[in-house]
Amino acid sequence: MSNKLRLENSAFVLLAGNTKLSLIHGLTAAGASPELTFMTPAVDSEILLNGRSITMREPPMTPDGIPTPAIVTRGCLQLTDIPVIVVNAGMAVKPNVPFIETGLNSAEDPRFTIGAPFFDMAVNTGYYIGSSILRRFDSVFLAESVPGGTTTALLTLRSLGIELKTSTTFRVNPEELKEQIVKESLGMRLLSPVSFLDSVKFYGDYMMALSFGISAALKDHWIYFSGGTQMATVYYLDKMISGSNNRRSVITTRWIMEDQRKTMKTLCGNNLIESDLDFHSSKEDGLRKFEEGHVKEGVGMGAAYLIAKENSSEKTIMKSIEETYERLS
């Protein structure tokens, strides 16, 4: 696949949702506390569409005070005319901005029950959104905001016997905790998943299910799965479910590639586009922290940067990101 983005008549779609796994202490930094991770997808949606947090006074931060990547995505996409669409991929809290309602609530904790009990409905809803709304676009950038989603991705892969690691929003990956969750989740099943779809139903989340439906409805369209190891997992499973499609690829950041290059290359092969987003020279300390291994991806910020770069200079993009950051900090 060519690394040249097809931007004419394209849309940027944020699949925002929750999994109850994010309530486990120490699993994700996509919120200042485990409880606040349930607010993050809604506030990310508000920042992306409205430029500010409405549901919370403060924008989502890691426990170390590092800002949500939604700030980066917003700053980039402000320089473009690409339409942005938010879809409820199982949000526990609904945002105060327009979004496509799917009727989905948070995915469950797969240590105790089926992770995505309404999986079939979510796939069918994704197909409906793709065939009725997104089909007018030639290409679609699918991004995610799902705290704990790297763990649902890990569970799904492990349930299929795929021994790969996934990334984390923390600087240091809580691998021991993740492995314990894998052990507890897979151990509660009497039968292993009999298909790729079952693996996601048992251990995944609704962002994944909606993505499969959208992809199935848009077979002849270009889809860019925009994110880190979560979206690489979605890309891989979508290929296993629907077959190879040279109009599918993953866009990620340099930080993800530095952290989990083996996972990304194994899942995506050559259909992988790496963004050169760099905050070394940023005047904002919170953004420079990204260079230390915090956050790494989210809300499609790697893709958003490449989209903005088509018609704007790096200096202009950095200024827009920093201005967005300053308005929210």
Above 90 in pLDDT, residue 99? yes
Q: Which amino acid is at 154?
A: L
Residue 247 Cα distances to 7, 219, 256, 257, 272, angstroms: 13, 8, 22, 22, 12
On whether residue 4 sits in a domain, the answer given is no
Three-state DSSP state, 131: helix
How high is the pLDDT of residue 188? 75
Q: What average pLDDT does range 18-33 have in this prediction?
A: 91
Give the confidence band of 171 by pLDDT, cuts at 50, 70, 90: confident
Q: Indicate the average pLDDT of the chain.
A: 94
Q: What average pLDDT does range 24-46 have in this prediction?
A: 91
Strand partners, 251: 226, 273
Above 70 in pLDDT, residue 313? yes
The residues, any chain, with a CB within 8 Å of residue 176's CB and separated by 6 or more, are none
- Dmax of the chain from CA atoms? 55
Structure tokens at 41: 């997808």
How many whole angstroms separate alpha carbon 29 and alpha carbon 169? 5
On whether residue 205 sits in a domain, the answer given is yes
Number of domains in the chain: 1
The residues, any chain, with a CB within 8 Å of residue 35's CB and separated by 6 or more, are 23
Give the confidence band of 199 by pLDDT, cuts at 50, 70, 90: very high
On whether residue 15 sits in a domain, the answer given is yes
Nearest to 257 by CA among 241, 239, 276: 276
- Top pLDDT among 33 and 238 is at 238
- Top pLDDT among 281 and 62 is at 281
Whole-number percent of the chain with pLDDT over 90: 88
Alpha-helical (H) ranges within the chain are 40-50, 70-77, 119-132, 149-159, 175-187, 196-203, 206-217, 229-242, 254-268, 285-288, 301-309, 314-328
On whether residue 56 sits in a domain, the answer given is yes
Nearest to 159 by CA among 180, 140, 185: 185
Q: What average pLDDT does range 316-320 have in this prediction?
A: 97
On whether residue 5 sits in a domain, the answer given is no
Q: What average pLDDT does range 120-149 have in this prediction?
A: 98
- Top pLDDT among 195 and 270 is at 270
Q: Which amino acid is at 297?
A: E
Contact 225, 235 (CB under 8 A): yes
- Top pLDDT among 274 and 58 is at 274
Of 55-69, 122-136, 164-178, where does mean pLDDT reach its minimum? 55-69
How many whole angstroms separate alpha carbon 105 and alpha carbon 241? 24
Backbone dihedral angles phi then psi of residue 192, each to the nearest 5 degrees: -75, 155
Task: Determine the structural domain holding residue 60 and report its residue range.
Answer: 10-328
On whether residue 74 sits in a domain, the answer given is yes
Identify the CATH number of the domain in which residue 259 sits.
Answer: 3.40.50.10210
Q: What are the DSSP calls for 56-117, one per residue?
A: SSS--B-TT-PBPTHHHHHHHHTTS---EEEEESS-SS--SS--B------B--TTTS-S-T
On whether residue 3 sits in a domain, the answer given is no
How high is the pLDDT of residue 56? 86
Above 80 in pLDDT, residue 113? yes
How many whole angstroms separate alpha carbon 246 and alpha carbon 155? 27
Above 60 in pLDDT, residue 268? yes
CA trace torsion 45, 49, 52, 56 (10° rounding): -30
How high is the pLDDT of residue 1? 45
Above 80 in pLDDT, residue 62? no
How high is the pLDDT of residue 57? 78
Above 70 in pLDDT, residue 93? yes
How many whole angstroms separate alpha carbon 236 and alpha carbon 249? 10
How high is the pLDDT of residue 328? 84
How high is the pLDDT of residue 305? 98
How many whole angstroms separate alpha carbon 112 and alpha carbon 235? 27
On whether residue 233 sits in a domain, the answer given is yes
Above 80 in pLDDT, residue 63? no
